[in-house]
């Protein structure tokens, strides 16, 4: 997994790339969680994510819950087909903010 963070006013955009699995979930949390604390809105761009397993999905859920607790939002953007498939299989499209 590689990533790039860009800013657009009050919004942090995290461009994730590669595979999000058990080996990188802690790193993903280290990137995303402080942004949720610092910004009003965090967008996770998943366009270049080729693979995500259940541990990657748990990062999305934890990010979503933390943002909700703080009255903020995490929005998933440009979701790749493979990641969208996993989200749909887990029936999370109603819970997560898909943008």
* 11-20 vs 97-98, strand pairing mode: unpaired
Q: What is the pTM of this model?
A: 0.94
Q: What range does the domain containing 47 cover? A: 2-98
Are the C-beta atoms of 64 and 94 separated by less than 8 Å?
Answer: no
Count of domains for the chain? 1
The pLDDT, as a whole number, for residue 39 is 81
> Tell me: the pLDDT tens digits for 26-55?
999 999 999 999 988 999 999 999 999 999
pLDDT band at 75 (very low <50, low <70, confident <90, very high): very high
Q: What is d(CA 81, CA 86) in angstroms, rounded to the nearest whole number?
A: 9
CATH of the domain at 42: 3.30.750.24
E strand map for 1-99:
2-8, 11-20, 41-52, 73-77, 97-98
């Amino acid at each position: 997994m590689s990533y790039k963070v860009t800013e657009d006013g009050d919004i942090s955009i995290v461009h994730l790339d590669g595979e999000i699995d058990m080996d990188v979930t802690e790193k993903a949390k280290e990137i995303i969680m402080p942004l949720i604390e610092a910004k009003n809105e965090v967008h996770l761009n998943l366009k270049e994510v080729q693979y995500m397993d259940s541990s990657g999905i748990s990062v999305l859920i934890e990010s979503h819950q933390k943002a909700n607790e703080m009255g903020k939002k995490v929005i998933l953007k440009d979701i790749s087909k493979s990641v969208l498939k996993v989200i749909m299989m887990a029936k999370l499209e109603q819970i997560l903010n898909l943008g």
